[in-house]
Amino acid sequence: MKVVFIHGRSQQGKNPLTLQNTWTNALIKGFEGIGSPYPGVVDVAFPYYGDLLFDETYRRAQKDFQVLTDKGADAAAPGGEEEEFMRQVIYDIAKQQGISKEQINAEANGEMLEKGVQNWRGVLAALRLLDQLPGVGATSVELFTRDVWYYLTEKTIRDAVNKLVDAQLPENDPCIVVAHSLGTIIAYNLLMNRPARSNIKGLVTLGSPLGIEAILSRLPSNGSPRKAPDGVPSWVNIRDKRDVVALYEIPAARFSGAPAVQNHSNASNGSDNRHGIVEYLNDTIVAGVLRPLLA
């Protein structure tokens, strides 16, 4: 059984083979951790789109979201829907990290409550507070960078990434898809729009932001509720409740048809931000789900 790994964002400039080996070794260690080592060599496909995504988004970027906190109160807001997306997700993560509107207002020198939640300085204040939390700031800001936004909203970028990943999905041979972070958005979108094939035996999403409303509501779709990945017999979503990206479980009620997503929120991710892929693949919950699929 082939395992198709779909990585997340911020992988540009990295060696694809090194990444593949890192993921594979972590998976093997996870199987050993549950007392069920995998015999032989794990057959892996690792579609690497890191450089492609970076190059495409860089050309289209009008602002670099990663310097927002450096610019502070003088940072200009992006326009229209892009600004709304950033606001929704930033406030959502701040709330999940225990940051209150009163704290954000104080950091914004009272301008958030005075001008309402539409005030951009309140967003910047929330980012500054998130940056003060160990293991949280960098990753929370990453979620709002051009990679996620442009994949969701730019069809040319989405099509280019999907084409690259799809080329390494087997046409007929059995496989399972294991996706992480932004890769879970790509995996869902790709499988939803791909003709159903019985060879894909399962979808496993790790550290997925698909439960965040600002992202879920912007998934490309032909209607609502959105379809579950057609033809895939099982979809298991696994997260650490403390993961700064996977804020919520993926709501099965928001997807029509089979398979209904099964959520497991009891993983224990030992990385600083509770989001690292190696720590997910090492986790006994993840290994316990993946090992039977490879039997």
Is the separation of the CB atoms in 215 and 250 below 8 Å?
A: no
Could you tell me whether strands 200-206 and 235-238 are parallel, antiparallel, or unpaired per DSSP bridges?
parallel
Does the structure show a pLDDT above 50 at 63? no
Looking at the chain, list the stretches that DSSP marks H as alpha helix, in order from N- to C-terminal side: 16-33, 50-60, 68-71, 80-96, 101-107, 111-115, 120-131, 137-143, 146-153, 155-166, 182-193, 213-216, 277-282, 284-293
Q: Higher pLDDT residue, 70 or 200?
A: 200
- pLDDT value, residue 97: 87
Between 66 and 90, where is the model more confident?
90
pLDDT over 80 at 232, yes or no: yes
Q: Looking up tokens 């006994």, which residue turns up? A: 284
Query: What is the number of other CB atoms lying within 10 angstroms of the CB of residue 235?
Result: 24
pLDDT at 117 over 90: no
pLDDT at residue number 23: 98
User: Cα separation of 123 and 94, whole Å?
Assistant: 10
Q: Note whether 205 and 4 are within 8 A (CB).
A: no
In the predicted model, what is the mean pLDDT of residues 152-178?
Answer: 94
Please return the burial class of 37, using the count of CB atoms within 10 Å of its CB with bins 0-12, 13-18 and 19+. Answer: exposed
So what's the pLDDT on residue 75?
Answer: 52
Decide the pairing of beta strands 175-180 and 200-206.
Answer: parallel
- d(CA 202, CA 177) in angstroms, rounded, equals 6
pLDDT at 138: 43
CA distance 80 to 167: 35
Kindly list the structural domains of the chain, giving each domain's residue range(s) and its CATH number in brackets, ordered by start.
2-57+171-293 (3.40.50), 65-144 (no CATH)
Predicted pLDDT of residue 62: 45
Quick check: 69 pLDDT over 50?
no
Higher pLDDT, 86 or 41: 41
Residue partners of 110: CB distance under 8 A and separation at least 6:
none
